[in-house]
Amino acid sequence: MQGFSQSDDRPLPPGFVWGVAGSAYQVEGAVTEDGRGESIWDRFAALPGAVANGDTGVVACDSYHRFGDDVRLMRDLGIGAYRFSISWPRVVPDGRGRVNPAGLDFYDRMVDELLASGIEPFVTLYHWDLPQALEDRGGWPSRDTVEAFSEYTEVVAARLGDRVRHWITQNEPWVISWLGYGLGVHAPGRASEVDALAAAHHVLLAHGRAAEVLRRETSGARVGVTIDLVPMYPLTYSDADVDAARRADGSRNRWFLEPVLGRGYPRDMLEEYASILPRIEDGDLQTIAAPLDFLGVNYYTRNVVRAGADAAAPATVETRGAEHTDMGWEVYPDGLTDLLARLHREYELPDLYITENGAAFIDDRRNGSVSDPQRISYLERHLAALGEAIAQGVPVRGYFLWSLLDNFEWALGFTKRFGIVYVDFDTLERVPKASYAWYRDFIAATRTVRV
């Protein structure tokens, strides 16, 4: 095994956890079973042209029925934690009101099975499958959705809070608000900047409220939120490009990070968004800045940006010649070290977890096995970059690889494979890839050697 970090011989921080991550709509399937309500992704995926090949999450990996198999794969991998999300419409089919006991039972069994296998559950409360009934009443741009989310959090905490210690309120607020409401490429498919910013504010507010609920309803909860961060590098050191990088960083990263870490919305971006800001009520920013036990960081890639023509929005530059994943994302491991070092330098941080990192590549199944050297190389280099950040003193407490299984990659359907386990979407057979064995050996080695 390569060292976790080439430049460091200190041990992993105490309690450091290796894990894998997934989310309900991407793996569960069983969308009409046992009383589950409709989600915005069910509705969106059914629209012609919305998702590649007309794929949907109706069956996905069928983890609703095959969860036992998945836990066995996790146990054999030797991970200490599994990050998964609860499907809101499985638990509260209409978004508010009536609770579906069968939905709660499913997650109850899942938590027990994980714990029995020595795997700590990290529960994400919202990973994009809003009940359609709430979208029909305005969705995230409506402030009422915040109340609905608090109620849903209360229901889940009451049932699982005796066994689940780690809670992630929201996953990737930028994606929820901008891809779903601003650019229309994700469910619910709206394309309005005003809606996107209102959604973003309410998603953050819902995070703060849920944090309060979790602390009230459970004892010893460790509460966090996951933000997808994309470090922005200026193409040149010209004032215009540097300023473009500042703006891109402001909208993609700081808009979400700063209020959650207690700094409020960044002043430069408040000016930029002045004409499209949502109503921010007294006390909202205090709620959003609820004390955090940890911050989840999802890192996949960086962006290189340059100034747009005539003060237009910053433009993302294609990094020709660089290595890219099947998503078209540049492979840039140094970005992870730079990002973590910057967070450590500029903010007062709680513990950090890398709640997602991984790569989609085209996988070829030959003679029953899948060799995926590019994914292994991606992981190797990103873990070395993570080790470097830890050596610099960044308080990272765990790493979750995205993803255990190939799964439903949102608008790209089943065309992109992120898993370390190959899923045959016709038979639902699971075939561990070479990267699965690599991660298993890596985890085992970090347990026994100084890294």
Q: Is 330 a catalytic residue?
A: no
Binding to ligand IFM, residues 308-367 (CB under 6 A): 356
What 3-state class would DSSP assign to 222?
strand
Min dist CB 410 to ligand IFM, Å, is: 6
Ramachandran angles phi, psi of 334, nearest 5°: -60, -25
Sequence-distant (6+) residues with CB within 8 A of 365 are 422, 424, 431
Residue 33: exposure state from Cβ atoms within 10 A (0-12, 13-18, ≥19): middle
Q: Is 356 a catalytic residue?
A: yes
Question: Looking at beta carbons only, is 278 or 413 nearer to ligand IFM?
Answer: 413
List C-alpha distances in Å: 391 to 353, 356, 388, 437, 447: 15, 20, 5, 26, 17
Find the binder of ligand IFM among 39, 132, 298, 301 (CB under 6 A).
Answer: 298
Min dist CB 44 to ligand IFM, Å, is: 14
List C-alpha distances in Å: 336 to 187, 299, 343: 29, 7, 11
User: Which DSSP category does 237 fall into?
Assistant: S
Which is catalytic among the residues 172, 258, 388, 409?
Answer: 172
What 3-state class would DSSP assign to 146?
helix
Min dist CB 26 to ligand IFM, Å, is: 6
Ranges of H-type helices in 218-361: 239-249, 255-260, 267-272, 284-288, 334-346
Which is catalytic among the residues 113, 258, 356, 388?
Answer: 356
Find the binder of ligand IFM among 5, 23, 63, 100 (CB under 6 A).
Answer: 23
Nearest by Cα to 297 from 221, 360, 351, 359: 351
Binding to ligand IFM, residues 153-172 (CB under 6 A): 172
Q: Does 402 bind ligand IFM (CB under 6 A)?
A: yes
Which helix (H) or strand (E) segment is 210 a member of?
Answer: helix 193-217
Binding mask 25-64 for ligand IFM (x = CB under 6 A): -x--------------------------------------
Question: Looking at beta carbons only, is 160 or 176 nearer to ligand IFM?
Answer: 176
Min dist CB 41 to ligand IFM, Å, is: 11
Min dist CB 312 to ligand IFM, Å, is: 27
Give the interface size with ligand IFM as a residue count (CB under 6 A): 8
Q: Which residues are catalytic?
A: 172, 356
Residue numbers at the binding site for ligand IFM (CB under 6 A):
23, 26, 172, 298, 356, 402, 409, 418
